[in-house]
Amino acid sequence: MFSSARDFVRSQGGSMLPMIALLAIPLLLAVGFSVDYTSAVTTRSNMQQALDAAILSITTLPTTTSKADRQTALQQAYVANSGLGDATLTAVNVAADGTATFSATAAYPMPTSFMQIARINSVDVGVGSSVRKAPALVQSTFKVTKVSGYWNKTMTLYGTQFGQTKAKPLMTISYNYNGYGDPKGYGTTTVSTINGSTKTVVQKQVCTTSTVDNFNNLPSGAITQTSGSNKYVTTCADTFYPANGAGAVIDVSQMDQLYLQMNVPSGNPKVLKSNDPNTSNRLYIGTSATDMPEVATGQKVDIFTSVPCGQTGYQAWEDGGNPVPAPVSNADFFYNVTGKCAFNQRPSETVLTQ
């Protein structure tokens, strides 16, 4: 048997080279297809990552950006993320409630290496990506309901615009004690919007206190206090500018960050911030005037999510006169806040769906 095989190999009557060549072609093709396939898989993965990054980036463009400009930005971001071929924005839809969806595809005719033996010079590689963007806060309205205390104080809403690092004041609420001497203490509160160097008063609440013999026949909304044998009645009158105004209406659609800061010159601490985990626990946030849980110690408050969309939210501050934790009844600075939500540039509300 071994002798026959040896004789076959040494045979002069024919050659094995053509047969070996014929057998090698399928092997080479198989190896070539495998190499090109692996390259296509890697290319597709890189394209997908580039397209995902690109479509996420165009959701943070201004709301007035046209689809054509978004297409240009998509392609630029796609290339910047090492994407091959062309990216195409296929759909931009914004619902009435502000929910937005974006879809895009990318295609690239990848040149082959070994598959050209079979006259396959390129392989079309394609990917797709879609995102869904939930409505986000674009406008907030602050209205004072009640402020008290012997200490003067000021609460300010600060915002940082997209692409900037320095926060600027958007709204301020200042309180001045009237000095009457009642236990809780009331005074005058002024709410103003701020636009650059221009401050505009939009609400003023003036609280007047007097001593009475009894609490009979009190006007609606009167605040009563008792200290020893003394009885105090406080009435507060609100004036809005304009007269049918709702309070401080603040456009936050161009803001990437928001926080509240209260300055209490006589307090300890003197500065309270919603984004400072050391002082945010003096802020109360809730769904009604009586249901306002205190922010847990060590937390940062995201004003974008703490302002409800389309309904009234309730907030209050303890200005530093009492230790915390403490019931909301100990707070000194009460106000309502409502939000309007729509399509917004903030990236935090965006998720990939494909």
pLDDT digit of tens for each residue in the chain (354 aa)?
Answer: 545 545 544 555 555 556 555 555 565 565 666 777 788 889 999 999 999 999 999 998 888 899 999 999 999 999 999 999 999 999 999 888 889 999 999 999 998 876 776 677 888 999 999 999 988 899 999 999 999 999 999 999 999 998 899 999 999 999 999 999 999 999 999 999 999 999 999 999 999 999 999 999 999 989 999 999 999 999 999 999 999 999 999 999 989 999 999 999 999 899 999 999 999 999 999 999 889 999 999 999 999 999 999 999 999 999 988 888 999 988 999 999 999 999 888 887 788 887
Q: Which residues contact 347 (CB under 8 A, 6 or more apart)?
A: 56, 59, 60
In angstroms, the first-to-last Cα distance of the chain is 63
Q: Give the closest residue to 274 by CA, choosing from 326, 309, 317.
A: 317
Regarding pTM above 0.95, the answer is no
Is 237 in contact with 205 (CB distance < 8 Å)?
yes
Burial class (CB in 10 A: 0-12, 13-18, 19+), 23: exposed
Neighbours of 6 (CB within 10 A): 10
What tokens does 316 get? 């209050």
Counting every residue written for the chain, the total comes to 354
CA pair distance 297, 151, nearest whole angstrom = 24
Q: How far apart are CA 164 and CA 147, in angstroms?
A: 33
**Dist. CA 262–CA 272, nearest whole Å:** 5
